[in-house]
């Protein structure tokens, strides 16, 4: 399965079939972890955790005791770096038949942080269960998906723009970038807020965050920047499988911005 196929097919899984991961699948995941890099070059340390051993739990997860968690230094761009890196693992897991879901709040966070031996200058943004999807979703999972309209996404022209935020970008105008941008549109996000916005200008795609209230902590940590990292990952993986290399930079083009919109990063594509 390609990453494009994984992005198009994947859904969050919260109800698992109780079967433990096979030793072969565990090894595949561990072998893939060094590939889960990010454009910022910020190291992320991952661990597979046993819920029974460490006293871990999440009220929205049933049928598995295996989780993956990651930690990194609390440095500039840590949120975007983590989102990008963790999504690579999530997509790879799906490609080999393992279900996941991003969890940031609905867990006993202190227990997870203790299991990860979190130090004072580190942060553990999110975790995910790992397991094989059950044949039928639990009632709780069904209701959660309905509540956030998990299978719906905003229209292409609401998310992507040409030259400025005044001109919506059509798929036809996007040309060779239409597929990578469509993969951005399909990205998962906290409560399905879809905070990414992109402006295509002079062949460069500029990524922005459309901020929602309640997602930025008092210390400046911004959960929605993790979502932008996921979107950037989708764009880069899609571009790569379309024959391009994505080069990210932080070079604000200085565009006029709508209210509650902030610049995050830019991406130029070159022939691979």
Q: Where do the domains of the chain lie, and which CATH numbers do they carry?
A: 3-140 (3.40.109.10), 156-271 (3.40.109.10)
Banded model confidence at residue 74, pLDDT cuts 50, 70, 90 = very high
Kindly report whether the global pTM for this prediction surpasses the value 0.85: yes
Residue with the two structure tokens 């950037």: 232
Question: Is the separation of the CB atoms in 231 and 203 below 8 Å?
Answer: no
Q: State the burial class of residue 218 (Cβ atoms within 10 Å of its Cβ: 0-12, 13-18, 19+).
A: exposed
Does residue 219 surpass a pLDDT of 80? no
Q: What whole-number distance in Å separates Cα of residue 94 and Cα of residue 7?
A: 9
For residue 261, the model assigns a pLDDT of 97
> For helices 78-95 and 23-32, what crossing angle results, to 10°?
140
CA atoms within 13 A on the CB side of 165: 19
Banded model confidence at residue 220, pLDDT cuts 50, 70, 90 = confident
Question: Is the separation of the CB atoms in 228 and 209 below 8 Å?
Answer: yes
Q: Which of 260, 256, 262 is nearest to 167 (CA)?
A: 256
- To the nearest 5 percent, what fractions of the chain are helix, strand and coil? 35, 25, 40
**Collapsed DSSP state (helix, strand, coil) of residue 259:** coil
User: Lowest-pLDDT range, 16-20, 71-75, 145-149?
Assistant: 145-149
Q: Look up residue 231 and give its two tokens.
A: 């979107």
CA atoms within 13 A on the CB side of 81: 23
Q: Which of 30, 190, 4, 15 is nearest to 99 (CA)?
A: 15
Q: What are phi and psi of 31, to 5 degrees?
A: -70, -30
Banded model confidence at residue 140, pLDDT cuts 50, 70, 90 = confident
For residue 150, the model assigns a pLDDT of 59
Q: Look up residue 100 and give its two tokens.
A: 């996941």
Integer-rounded Cα Rg, in Å, for the chain is: 18
For residue 143, the model assigns a pLDDT of 74
Q: Look up residue 113 and give its two tokens.
A: 């942080």
Mean pLDDT, the chain, whole residue set: 94
């Amino acid at each position: 399965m390609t990453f494009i196929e994984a992005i198009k097919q994947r859904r969050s899984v919260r109800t698992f079939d109780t079967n433990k991961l096979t030793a072969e699948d565990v090894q595949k995941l561990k072998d893939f972890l060094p590939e889960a890099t990010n454009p910022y070059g910020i190291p992320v340390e991952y661990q597979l955790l046993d819920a029974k051993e460490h006293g871990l739990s999440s009220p929205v997860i049933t049928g598995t005791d295996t989780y993956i968690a990651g930690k990194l230094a609390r440095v500039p761009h840590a949120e975007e770096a983590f989102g990008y890196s963790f999504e690579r693992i999530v997509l790879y897991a799906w490609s080999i038949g393992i279900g996941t879901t991003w969890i940031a709040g609905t867990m006993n966070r202190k227990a997870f942080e203790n299991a990860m031996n979190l130090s004072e200058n580190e942060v553990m943004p999110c975790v995910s269960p790992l397991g094989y999807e059950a044949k039928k979703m639990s009632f709780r999972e069904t209701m959660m998906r309905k509540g956030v309209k998990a299978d719906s996404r905003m229209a292409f022209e609401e998310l992507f723009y040409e030259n400025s935020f005044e001109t919506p970008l059509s798929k036809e105008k996007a040309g060779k970038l239409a597929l990578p941008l469509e993969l951005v549109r399909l990205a998962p996000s906290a409560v399905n807020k879809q905070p990414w916005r992109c402006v295509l200008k002079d062949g460069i795609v500029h990524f922005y965050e459309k901020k929602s209230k309640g997602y930025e902590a008092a210390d400046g940590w911004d959960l929605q920047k993790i979502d932008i990292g996921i979107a950037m990952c989708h764009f880069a993986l899609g571009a790569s499988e379309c024959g391009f290399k994505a080069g990210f930079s932080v070079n604000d083009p200085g565009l006029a911005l709508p209210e509650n919109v902030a610049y995050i990063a830019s991406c130029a594509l070159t022939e691979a």
